[in-house]
Amino acid sequence: MDGSTSTVGKPAADYTITQDWAGYRPEQHAVWRTLFHRQAEILVDRAAPEFLAGIAALSVTADVIPDFRRLNEVLDRATGWRIVAVPGLVPDAIFFEHLAQRRFPSTCFIRRPDQLDYIQEPDVFHDIFGHVPMLVNPVFADYMQAYGQGGLKALGLGSLHRLARLYWYTVEFGLVRTPAGLRIYGSGIVSSHAESIYALDSDRPHRLGFDLMRIMRTNYRIDDVQETYFVIDGYDQLFDATRPDFTPYYAALQRLPDLKPGALLADDVPVARAGARS
Ligand code: PHE
Ligand code: FE
């Protein structure tokens, strides 16, 4: 094979491909620019300080879809994480193996201009703008690696659906309590215009204190904004609560019924939203 594009789009055994950065068209950079501006405007006083610090540290801007090679120089120096390009969702075992090695699998393609508000599968805006900034934070970076190791274990124990809920309600849709009020750190929220507002401002969803077992019992919605968010006090709480061996937790969960996404239990601890936003 001689053509320089011959490896582009052809997955390796670990599903990685090459981000063809020079191949993005101006219209594609324009979609990124629009998405970035829309989010930057509303996230200043909604996103977690650690997320905003990550964006700044990585010099992710509105100008262009970031070049993964440039991001990796910063990310590697900060926490030893690297972005690897993948064509789309990869098999669970492959995904966990990457995380366990501090490699974050990111898609390269960007949504079409008619998909600014909603797209079902992850694209480069969700993966890079949404996920990568938090990987600059040392505690969160360690949590993500531990999650990958836990994923490989959960696969072997037939409990992946439990652990997937933890990812969903923290990495994708997590809220954090700060002195200034509730803030967003979940990538599924920060990469969605509507949900960045709804998650903090709406009276509809439940906002409950982080509870590992409660989360692993709770189903989630993939086709609409969430009915329940879980609020952490900080990333140490997340890391400490998930440090123990989950094997007995998975066993105990088999005797407890699953909960609907919008369920509210007598001993749930709702987190006050009133006066939360400064
Ligand atoms: N401690 C968990 C286990 O033994 C692994 C894990 C770590 C899971 C961090 C999620 C997050 O399975
Ligand atoms: Fe995601």
**Complete DSSP assignment for 68-98:** HHHHHHHHHHHHS-EEEE-SS---HHHHHHH
Cβ of 246 closer than 6 Å to ligand 1, yes or no, is yes
Neighbours of 227 (CB within 10 A): 17
Burial label for 96, CB within 10 Å (0-12, 13-18, 19+), is buried
Q: Tens digit of pLDDT for each residue in 23-71?
A: 999 999 999 999 999 999 999 999 999 999 999 999 999 999 999 999 9
Q: For residue 276, name the pLDDT band (cuts at 50, 70, 90).
A: very low
- The Å distance, Cα 248 to ligand 2 centre, comes to 28
Using 50, 70 and 90 to split pLDDT, how confident is the model at 10? Answer: low
pLDDT tens per residue, range 115-170: 999 998 999 999 999 999 999 999 999 999 999 999 999 999 999 999 999 999 99
Helices 138-157 and 92-100 sit at what angle, rounded to 10 degrees? Answer: 140
pLDDT score at 2: 34
Pocket test for ligand 1, best of 246, 249, 253 (most atoms within 8 A of CB): 246
What residue type is assigned to position 1 of the chain?
A: M
Predicted local confidence at residue 273, as pLDDT: 77
Q: Which ligand is nearest to the CA of 140?
A: 1
How many helices and strands, by DSSP H and E, does the chain display? 12, 6
CB of 15 closer than 6 angstroms to any ligand 1 atom: no
Residues with Cβ within 8 Å of residue 144, at least 6 apart in sequence: 81, 99, 102, 104, 134, 135, 171
- Mean pLDDT computed over 207-235: 97
In eight-state DSSP terms, residue 132 is G
User: What pLDDT is attached to residue 8?
Assistant: 53
pLDDT band at residue 4 using 50, 70 and 90 as cut-offs = very low
* pLDDT higher than threshold 60 for residue 9: no
Spatial separation of the C-alpha atoms in residues 115 and 126, rounded to whole Å? 12
In this structure, what is the dihedral angle of CA atoms 199, 83, 128, 98, given to the nearest 10 degrees?
-30
Q: Between 162 and 269, name the one with better pLDDT.
A: 162
Q: What is the reported pLDDT for 226?
A: 98
Q: Give the pLDDT band of residue 11 (cuts 50, 70, 90).
A: low
Cα 260 to Cα 227: distance, rounded to the nearest angstrom? 9
- List 178's β-bridge partners, or say none: 181
Instruction: Tell me, using a 6 A CB cutoff, whether residue 139 lines ligand 1.
Output: no
Question: Which of 149, 171, 215 gets mutated to test ligand 1 (max ligand atoms within 8 A of its CB)?
Answer: 149
Mutate to test the pocket of ligand 1, among 153, 157, 165, 249 (most ligand atoms within 8 A of CB): 153
Q: d(Cα 8, Cα 29) in Å, to the nearest integer?
A: 19
Q: Can you give the pLDDT at residue 47?
A: 98
pLDDT cut 70: percent of the chain above it:
94
Tell how far the Cα of 69 is from the centroid of ligand 2, in angstroms: 20
- Ligand 1 center to residue 275 CA distance, Å? 34
Amino acid (one-letter) located at 70? R
Q: Alpha-carbon distance 214 to 206, whole Å?
A: 13
The pLDDT mean for the chain works out to: 94
Q: Measured from the CB, is residue 242 less than 6 Å from ligand 1?
A: yes
Which of 85, 67, 81, 92 is CA-nearest to residue 16?
A: 85
DSSP notation for 43-60: HTTTB-HHHHHHHHHTT-
The model's pLDDT over 77-95, given as tens digits with 9 standing for 90+, comes to 999 999 999 999 999 999 9
Tell me if the pTM is above 0.85. Answer: yes
Parallel/antiparallel/unpaired status of strands 103-106 and 82-85: parallel
d(CA 267, CA 105): 38
Predicted confidence (pLDDT) at residue 3 exceeds the cutoff of 60: no
Evaluate: CB of 153 within 6 angstroms of ligand 1: yes
pLDDT category at 272 given cuts 50, 70, 90 is: confident
Q: Ligand 2: distance of its center to the CA of 2 in Å?
A: 35
| Nearest partner of 104 among 154, 62, 58, judged by Cα | 58
